[in-house]
Amino acid sequence: MRFLSIGECMAEFAPCGTPGTFRMGFAGDTFNTLWYLRALRPDIEAAYFTAVGTDNISDSLIRQMQVAGIDTSLILRRSDRTIGLYLIELADGERSFSYWRNMSAAKCLAEEIETLTEAIAAADVIYFSGITLAILKADTRGSLLETLRQAHAAGKTVAFDPNLRPGLWPDPETMKTVVMSGASASNIVLPSFEDEALHFGDADPGATIERYLCAGADRVIVKNGPHPVAFGHQGKRDTVPVARISNIVDTTAAGDSFNAGYFAELDRDIPQHDMIAAASRVAAKVIQGPGALVQL
């Protein structure tokens, strides 16, 4: 299986003890998922598609991906831009985030559509998110969605996490319209119920499943924090319980690692229920460690 993840990876500055001191790492939803997938399945070819700069910090990001076994050969380099950055601050145990990403190179990832089309053509499974769509300009976003639709029609597996982030969109209506187009280009949709209820007004996970199935997806898996995961697939609707975790350290990347756990089972001929149970076990480990990238 050759897996391609498309999106943005940023430099992360996280507080480390002494006030005013930060540790730099790299994170981003589609990157986190790929990093976990590679950790779970070193036998899978895992490639990342994004755009970065030609400066030192972009080189460091590429090196970190390569150390993790990720294929970086498709990543675009732009001398006029660099990677985005975010800073985490802690006040009374609450984390707050500041972002510098308006000029990030990743916003241009779909500008060389031939390169992107070739990358998609070479993959068996293609993964993207609502954040991938949010950072692009409307015209290049349209080109990416069209290429994904064609890949889906050609029999490839296209997987999408809506990852609703209203702050990245001009208005909630645009976010909802584009996210539904993302789902309609996909076979597998992996939403998180809390976000879906807030922005789409879904009364329960079943409503989220029906909405994305109606958009054209054929498999919808709805994550819901500590509550059972609900899924819809080929006329079947069911839920899978999630283990109770008593020592939660940090829920960052719970959804991203869950997705990786699910993708790690894609090429094994096992029931949905078992794929989802495996995905929940991965997320359970991740929320018991600090930060986005936890050694499994």
3-state class percentages of the chain: helix first, strand second, coil last, to nearest 5: 40, 25, 35
Dist CA 275 CA 190 (whole Å): 13
Catalytic residue among 124, 161, 256, 274: 256
Question: Closest separation between CB of residue 282 and ligand ADP, Å?
Answer: 8
Size of the site for ligand ADP (CB under 6 A): 17
Nearest partner of 190 among 211, 219, 215, 214, judged by Cα:
219
129 binds ligand ADP (CB under 6 A): no
160 binds ligand ADP (CB under 6 A): no
CB burial of residue 15 (10 Å; 0-12, 13-18, 19+): middle
Site string for ligand ADP, 52-91 (x = CB under 6 A): ----------------------------------------
**Residue choice 87, 121, 207, 245 for contact with ligand ADP (CB under 6 A):** 245
Segment 262-291, which members bind ligand ADP (CB under 6 A)? 280, 283-284, 287
**Residue choice 26, 258, 262, 263 for contact with ligand ADP (CB under 6 A):** 258
Dist CA 292 CA 36 (whole Å): 10
Smaller CB separation from ligand ADP, 85 or 245: 245
**Residue 202 and residue 179 in contact, taking contact as beta carbons nearer than 8 Å:** no
Token code pair at residue 237 = 């609707």
225 binds ligand ADP (CB under 6 A): yes
40 binds ligand ADP (CB under 6 A): no
179 binds ligand ADP (CB under 6 A): no
DSSP 26-85: EE-HHHHHHHHHHHH-TTSEEEEE-EE-SSHHHHHHHHHHHHTT-B-TT-EE-TT-B--E
197 binds ligand ADP (CB under 6 A): no
256 is annotated as an active-site residue: yes
Question: Closest separation between CB of residue 14 and ligand ADP, Å?
Answer: 17
Nearest partner of 9 among 86, 66, 80, judged by Cα:
86
Catalytic residue numbers, as ranges: 256
Residues forming the site for ligand ADP (CB under 6 A): 192, 223-226, 229, 242, 245, 248, 251, 254-255, 258, 280, 283-284, 287
